[in-house]
C-alpha cells in the first residue's frame, strides 16, 4: 500500500468523528482490538510519512504500553490538528510536539532492546545494578 492509500485508510477510520482520547486501561477486549487496528493504520502511515525507523517505533510497538500510549496520544493530537475547524497554526503545533514524541519514543525503544526482527518482552530483560 502506498503512503496516500495508507493515509486515506487512516482518515476513513476517523471520518465523521471528532478526535477523542483513548483510555486503553478502560477498554474491553473487543474495543481494544478495534482501537489497536485503527491506531495501527495511523502508525503505518506516520512511520512512512515521517521516515521513522524501528529505532523510533519497533514493529512490536503494540506489545509495549508506553510506546502504545505515546502513539495513541500523538494520533489523537494529529486528528485534532487536522480537523476542518482547526486553527491554521495547529499543524505546526503537531510537528513541534512530534519532535518531542520522537525523542521519547527513541529513548523508550532503546531501553526495550527490541530490534527490527526480534521482540524482547519486558519480563525477559534483566535490570542492571
pLDDT digits (tens, 9 = 90+) for 42-82: 999 999 999 999 999 999 999 999 999 999 999 999 999 99
Angle, CA of 13, 73 and 29, to the nearest 5°: 65
For residue 125, the 8-state DSSP code is P
18, 27, 10, 9: which is closest to 65 by C-alpha? 27
Residue 31: pLDDT over 60: yes
The torsion defined by the Cα of 32, 125, 58 and 17, in degrees rounded to 10, comes to: 20
Q: Mean pLDDT score of the chain, rounded to an integer?
A: 86
Residue with cell 520522537: 102
Distance CA 38, CA 28 (A): 15
Phi-psi map region of 51: left, alpha, beta (phi>0 left; psi -120 to 50 alpha): left
Please report which residue ranges of the chain form alpha helices under DSSP H: 3-14, 29-49, 65-81, 90-112
Amino acid at each position: 500500500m502506498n503512503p496516500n492509500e495508507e493515509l486515506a485508510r487512516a482518515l476513513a477510520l476517523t471520518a465523521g468523528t471528532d478526535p477523542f482520547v483513548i483510555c486503553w486501561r478502560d477498554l474491553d477486549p473487543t474495543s481494544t482490538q478495534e482501537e489497536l487496528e485503527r491506531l495501527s493504520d495511523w502508525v503505518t502511515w506516520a512511520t512512512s510519512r515521517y521516515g521513522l525507523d524501528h529505532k523510533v517505533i519497533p514493529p512490536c510497538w503494540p506489545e509495549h504500553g508506553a510506546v502504545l500510549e505515546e502513539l495513541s496520544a500523538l494520533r489523537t493530537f494529529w486528528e485534532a490538528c487536522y480537523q476542518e475547524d482547526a486553527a491554521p497554526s495547529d499543524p505546526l503545533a503537531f510537528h513541534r510536539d512530534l519532535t518531542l514524541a520522537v525523542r521519547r519514543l527513541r529513548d523508550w525503544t532503546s531501553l526495550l532492546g527490541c530490534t527490527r526482527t526480534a521482540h524482547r518482552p519486558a519480563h525477559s530483560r534483566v535490570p542492571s545494578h
